[in-house]
Structure 1
Amino acid sequence: MEFHQLRYFIAAAEDLSISAAAKRLHVTQPALSRQIAVLEAELGVSLFDRIRKRIHLTEAGRFFLPKARQIVCDAETGAQQLREQFGKARRTLRLGFLPPFLDDLVAPAVREFRQRHPRAQVSLFELPPRAQLDRLRNHELDAAILGNISEGDRALFTIRTLSRHKMAAVLPEDHPLARKKSISLSALKGERWISLSDAFFPGRREFLRNLCTKAGFEPEIVSEVDSLSMMIGAVTAGEGVALMPEHCRKLPHSGCIFVPLAAPVPTTELLLVLPRQELSRELITLTSLIAELAAQIAKDLRDRR
């Protein structure tokens, strides 16, 4: 198993398209397909279903995706730390983030940062909240962008609220309520529920339970998953329904529908989490840009309503 094979698999899984992944990675489609096939042969499982020129993650693929990201992240972090400590590499800022916020928040902020600090380096790590918090604690990340966290974790770090995002119901496309303009959370009483795992998204199970309790029912949680893509996949497979921030609508979700919730609409926080220490000039610039962009995104969303 080679690192480039893992990167090819991750890109194809994120884009759900061999051609788009190949274009993003600047390789040919046959080369990318061949390396994914080699990876599948070595693992002994199919990571993708190929249906009418489209690809979809299999259950094994959804299971492996966050683990592949973890392997690549650990390798890149270790190599960079080695170059900085024992070589001549410049100090690199390491930013963790959640996938829905890459294109409209993280990428623009980093692009502007590089214009202001052309000699500074930024490495990006797409990680679930628990992994981000662990790396902050171990000084392997300089900042993290993630959702709600526990009071215990809040006490360990400096927390800045970037924005609040409305939650939406995520339903299989053939669900009786999937074509509604909006639904009340109480309309999903009696459904089977998919939750994010507390091992990867601390506090999410309790967050779901609290929202459903306020709506007058106790959710029957039948499955817990360790990534947003796996949650979408579980809903698409008909295992149950879920709640996700509306911002996640931009993720590939063929086979399921995001349905807005009727008032009062529950929300979730987007947080910028920092270690409790003095920040470098470069990190102050980067975090300020992130905060400014998050505020602008929130304003644009309000203006469109």
Structure 2
Amino acid sequence: MKITEKFEINSKGPTRQFSIMHKEVPIRLTNDLDEAIKMLLWYVPNISSEQARVNDLLLNPFYDTYIFTEIMEQMNIRDEDILITEEIKANLVKFFRGEVRVDEQKLIMTLADNDETKTMALLRHVRNAIAHGNFNVIDDLVIGFDVKKIGDKTDYKGIFKINPSGLLKALRKINEDFTNEKLIATAFRRCSYKVEVYEEKYQRSHRFDLYARKGNKRFAIEVKTFDFREIMSRDFVRDMIGKIQGIDSDLRPVLIINSSFLSDENREDLIRENVLILDIKNIKKMQKGRDMLEEIVTRQEENNKNE
């Protein structure tokens, strides 16, 4: 699935009239929607809740499209059902007020600024709508509006019509799968690597983040993709080289990093120390089963033979 500009509105299909006001108070919720609401209000990463944890991965623009696409697939929402826009105009809002189709999902949203990821925008809009009671349930769908009211004017920031079960699946995936090490481990496993935490003397070691093995090839993996916003310093390179000292000679160090944060000089120093470097493009391909690490190793071995 790709997020493009294929969004469409088709008025043909079964519809139901509804009001944003709840007829029964408190509103009756399915088990999935009840759990999803609790997760949204208290446990979603990077929100203003004492129960929420920080997850830099969800804030990182380099992984935004990949993560958002994975979430949409969990929710079974198509490219044609998604619109990300600078402004939600009145002629679009009318399709979601009073009477709506009940055989489709839709997601329309704005971003707070250029730095907000699509994933965090989705969570923010749904959370705001539910927290302010601006939602209702129609058959198997929950429909909601994230609005900003200034006097008599209502400015729509987000509109969603989604299946609560799909939303719950997405929230669980966010909390369980979208962490730095889990994302990397999944990518390697999809390329038939055995992946474990890095150990020394049969104990967990923090020298590297992960250990990976495929056949007779072994790798020590350092994940630095998500923690930095500027060019890596020389201190980082010296620290990375220091970690390499003393490890098994047949254990190849791997650095996973946003390549834009690595200067040419630092890259060359690391390569001279036999460090393999993977960036976001490589990890995305490995998520699809293409072994980029093996391709890089093979290419280096061929170059060494030709020298």
Which category of TM-score, normalised to the shorter sequence, fits these structures? Answer: under 0.3
- TM-score, L = length of structure 1: 0.25
Relative contact order (C-alpha < 8 Å, sep 6+): which is higher? Answer: 1
- TM-score, L = length of structure 2: 0.25
Going by fraction, where is helix more abundant, 1 or 2?
1
Q: Pick the structure with greater CA Rg.
A: 2
